[in-house]
Structure 1
Amino acid sequence: MQTSALPDLAHTGAKPVHWLATAAAMAAVVALAGLLQPEAATATAQASEHATTAGSGAAPATAPDPAGIVFPLECGGAGQTVADRAPGDLDGDGRPETVVSVHCTAGSGTPPGGVYVLTQASGAAPRVVATLVDPADNLTVTGLAVQDGTVSATLLGYSSTEVPRCCPDERESASWRWKGSAFVRSAGDSSALA
């Protein structure tokens, strides 16, 4: 066996002080890595913490779910169909409402529908608090949306009782906004359908 002409390497004869120095260096690297997180991760964590603590320590409110609600719409035995829904904070209280378009379940034709606003108090079941379009008006609702606290929809109707109920011949754009203690309707463009 040939002996090396080089001196012994320091790590081959490690002493406890070397192990302590290595452990201290590793602990410093781990602590520094914990402090130097990417900015996006920190922002997301802060936003999540803010959303969780904003409502008295409770989770952020969710928009009411219309499933299981019986709407004020007479359908005989046909049942009701939620055709469209749009969530949003309509009264500025920080809790979202849900606006729904509902009509009777029909095999054919264009059944009239209603537009309702749902709210839900903490721990309570969702409930209807406003009717924006009454089914008695014989209108069909399309394009339901909520944006910046304003509800908008396209209303399809009939110019006379002679027009077949399958084929609306009038169209109106409408919007509603919460003012004080009620929803106020603004009529938009009206036109006849070709």
Structure 2
Amino acid sequence: MGVGIEVLIVDWPQVEAAVPGDRERLLIDAAFGEVYSDDLFEHGWSWPAQPGDAWYGRYAFRHSLGSYKPHFWAGHRWDHMRDFVEPMVRDPLDRFNDALFWHGLEDTTGVGSDLPEQPCTWDADLLLWCPPEHVPLVAGWWQQAAPHLEVLRKPFTQHAADPGGWITTFESFADLLTDWGKVVTEAERRGWGIVGLRC
């Protein structure tokens, strides 16, 4: 299946309180411990039942089977359609997509998230590292774009739909964006950060 991703929202100080060498194990235990399910068709949040573990939540994306490929392909589809999307929707989605799963958009389009550079300081194999101070910006981009997702249907159908790969329909594209929207909205509500473990 290739690269997988497990997405967690986490109480940042709780992770940073751990000894640096223990942080990756802490995140792996969170992702694959009590809240983990091997149901490939699960969708939504899983929360720990133990009060002492109430520092993280795990999110399972629709139609992803735990793979990173749908996230990559969503970015690929976006790259093919973005020039045909009106700026009021394109601009926040450029930043939202780049911050979460289509890193390097700036290299091809000149537009990126513009988030301050904060390299991951944790010794962990992560595909995504979004500190709590970045989350309100990302959530704000989602709030701007979310009411207008339907306007993406025509440019997706005309310029990005393809039976090859993942995210082959507008509905699957909109679902993936909406799932990411749920992740950033909940992280912002709690004042937490977001991580995506490579697995």
The answer to whether the superposition gives a TM-score over 0.5 is no
* TM-score of the aligned structures, taking structure 1 as reference length: 0.21
More strand by share: 1
Considering fraction of residues, name the structure with more helix.
2
Give the structure with higher Rg (CA). 1
Q: With structure 2 as the length reference, what TM-score do the two structures score?
A: 0.21
RCO comparison, higher one (Cα < 8 Å, 6+): 2
